[in-house]
Amino acid sequence: MTELPWLYAALSAYALATIASLVGVGRLGTPATSPADFAVSEDQRNNERLVLALMTASVILLVVTLTDRWLRIGHGPFVNLFELLISQLFSLGLVYAVAYWRIPVLRPTSVVVLPLMGVLAVWVLVLEPSDSVFPPTYHNPWLWAHVGFGKFFLAFSLIGTGLAGVILLRSRAYFKNLFRHLPDNVILDKLAWRFMLLALVFDSLMLIAGGVWAQDAWGRYWAWDALETSSFLNWLLLGASIHARTTYNVPIRVGALLIIGIFVFAFVTYFGTPFYSEAAHKGVI
Amino acid sequence: MRQPAVKSVLRRLASTKLTLLWMVLLGVGATLSYGNPVETSIWVLIVPMLLLAINLVAAIISNPRINRRGGLLVFHIGLLGIVVLAAIGRLTHMEARVEIISGNEFSHDHLIEVRAGPLHNGAINEVRFVQGPYTVEYRARMSRGRTYSQVAIPDGEGGWYESVVGDDRPLVIEGYRFYTTFNKGFAPIMSWIGEEGNVIETGAVHMPSYPLFDFKQSNSWTPKGGDEIKFWLQLETGLNAEEAWVLDGREATGTLVVNVAGKRTELLPGESVKMAGGSLRYEQLTTWMGYKLYYDPTLQWMFLISVITVAGLGGHFWRKLSAEPLGLDDALRGEKKLVKGSVPAPRSASV
Ligand code: HEM
């Protein structure tokens, strides 16, 4: 398992990024006494640079991990949970790092997003890093499209979840102070739902690419197998939540809970369903 | 007087509150269909989809929030199109299985487990191809890899062309898609020879799936008016569960054990055994391939409409983004105007 040292290095970098972001945002915890306290200090900016550098390092180390494993076992990280988690840590990390860099308002969400990714990191550590066998039905370019779109879907939902987390944390006095330099919840809510709309675009693309692949792989594009049903329900929940928001005056905090619900549903669909259901993606068997 | 009445009915049918209700119903239907249990009626999906379709058509006609926004309109009409196509697909589809012996031509008479929609009218009797040999890659611990099945297809000008198909590369003829499956095996070709040495009948003994039923390669046949003949095939295929190997019928050999009325004879290809009324000759060992058949004339349309649908949603997102960019940067990061309580009011409460 020559890739393991790289993996440990990558996860250490993630852990450091998480600590740095918690410390950085936590430092804002002192009560504001002047208007300047609502601004982002040079200290804070340096902290953000550190977090971004550590995330970037981690993503690069994950690329090395994945490449090393790929060369060793001869196929990409598409089959067992160990590979899937590393691959997601890479893609979520990459998309989030780019968003963190380009959209500064998202930076404080790292105190929600990085610990969430920590769940994946801890999970990967307790799994047996066994080699997987590439199923015959996985030699298909649509697998790439399917997986790729899915990665963006999950990443955008994660960003939405980060914002939703900040909205909910803010309702407590202590945290309110921490996020004081962020705009009002109305704006965060709007931004979060923008990301959820983008997530819906990629979720839909993932379902289409999945259907084309399933047609080639199993001779039918849709059969309500466990994974298909779960992803459809996830898509429907996302669409229904977007609708609920345009139909009713959904309170911002309820909206935030909906976003978290969608993310949790996606999380279970990705990392739960394929592994507890024998029938899911039968090509593996 | 009638105009307003129609309008009010339309508006009620178009209610987005109903949309939510029907979406919940569809969610329940999909949950019941989880894993595709046989006892779940297809109506748990059809009814909510129909209700959603009515709701959507009414909304498209009457609600400017949807019919004045191009991308969103394309997206919703696309969703409607997908539902309609799925329905047409179910009504016209066909699924079946077929097992073809190498060297034989496909015949629709041999289809088994046929399931077809009531409006299926494909030209299955026009489908012609001849099964050739095949290879299947196995990795250690009997994990099946790729299948390469050779088939010959008429080129329409009196000749044939060859193609190689597999589990994920179907043979497509007349819209019918033939996928290879794990279900494949061996078939000794036998001839029944009369007392005068004339071949009365030649046929194949279809042995069970291999290597799934490696341990019971047996079958039986009862000639008209004769005793039951039991066959047992002892195969040499190079199978080694611990190592990678390739299943190739052309490389395999098999000794056929023939048992009639308690008398056991071992035959190699070319050998025969005498029995009452004639003799039985083991001509050669060949293979058979099991295919899964799928026919759905809506496949390409479904793909096209799905892509257009998402493009509509993408366009809708893009328009929103250009109207109000994501980068709220100016409104942020310590600018004075953002000091508590002075947040600019959002332009709209929706996303
Ligand atoms: C089938 C019945 C449906 C009807 C009658 C319907 C109706 C509408 C209407 C009227 C709007 C405009 C809302 C507004 O801004 O005021 C809308 C927006 C939208 N709908 Fe639907 N819809 C239906 C199904 C769906 C489904 C199944 C999905 C996806 C799962 C979906 C996704 C969306 C999205 C993403 C928007 C855009 C929201 C926004 O940008 O503000 N719709 N729909």
pLDDT tens readout for residues B18-34: 999 999 999 999 999 88
> With an 8 Å Cβ cutoff, is B334 touching chain A?
yes
> Can you tell me the mean pLDDT for B123-149?
90
Residue B342 has pLDDT above 50, yes or no: no
Size of interface A-B (CB pairs under 8 A): 163
8 Å CB contact between A140 and A212: no
- C-alpha of residue A150 to centroid of ligand 1, in Å: 22
The answer for residues whose C-beta is within 8 angstroms of residue B302's C-beta and 6 or more apart is A211, A221, B82, B85, B86, B89
Cβ–Cβ contact A141 with B under 8 A = no
In whole angstroms, what is the distance from residue A57 CA to residue B55 CA?
Answer: 50
Instruction: Find residues 87-126 of chain B whose CB sits inside 8 Å of chain A.
Output: 95
Inter-residue contact A167 to B174 (CB < 8 Å) = no
Distance B23 CA to ligand 1 centre (A): 11
Check residue A150 and give left, alpha or beta (phi > 0: left; psi -120 to 50: alpha). alpha
Closest Cα in chain A to B139: A133
Mutate to test the interface with A, among B42, B52, B321, B351 (most CBs of A within 10 A): B351
Minimal C-alpha gap between B325 and chain A (Å): 10
In the predicted structure, residue B338 carries a pLDDT above the cut 50? no
Mean pLDDT of chain B: 86
Q: What is the pLDDT of residue B39?
A: 81
**Tokens 């191809």 map to which residue?**
B129
Q: What is the pLDDT of residue A183?
A: 87
Q: Tell whether B33 lies on the interface with A, counting CB pairs under 8 A.
A: yes
pTM over 0.95: no
Taking CA–CA distances from A278, the nearest residue in chain B reads: B35
pLDDT-derived band at B128 (thresholds 50, 70, 90) equals very high
Which of B339, B343, B347, B348 is best to mutate for the A interface (most A CBs within 10 A)? B339
Is beta strand B176-193 parallel, antiparallel or unpaired with respect to B278-295? antiparallel
Q: Tell whether B329 is within 8 A of chain A (Cβ).
A: yes
Cβ–Cβ contact A191 with B under 8 A: yes
B229-236 β-sheet, strand order: B218-221, B229-236, B253-260, B263-267
From the first residue on, what is the mean pLDDT of each consecutive set of 10 residues in chain A (285 residues)?
90 95 77 63 86 97 94 86 92 97 92 95 88 80 93 97 95 82 89 96 97 90 89 97 93 96 94 60 41
- Flag if B303 and A212 touch (Cβ within 8 Å): yes
Q: What ligand 1 atom has the least distance to the C-alpha of B63?
A: 10
Question: Is B329–A105 a contact, with Cβ atoms under 8 angstroms apart?
Answer: yes
For residue range B273-293, what is the model confidence (pLDDT) as tens digits?
888 778 889 999 999 999 999
Report yes or no: A229 and B34 within 8 Å, Cβ to Cβ: yes
- Could you give the CA distance from residue B240 to residue A23 in angstroms, rounded to a whole number? 58
Q: Judge whether B351 is closer than 8 Å to chain A, CB to CB.
A: yes
Confirm if A117 and A15 have CB atoms less than 8 A apart.
Answer: no
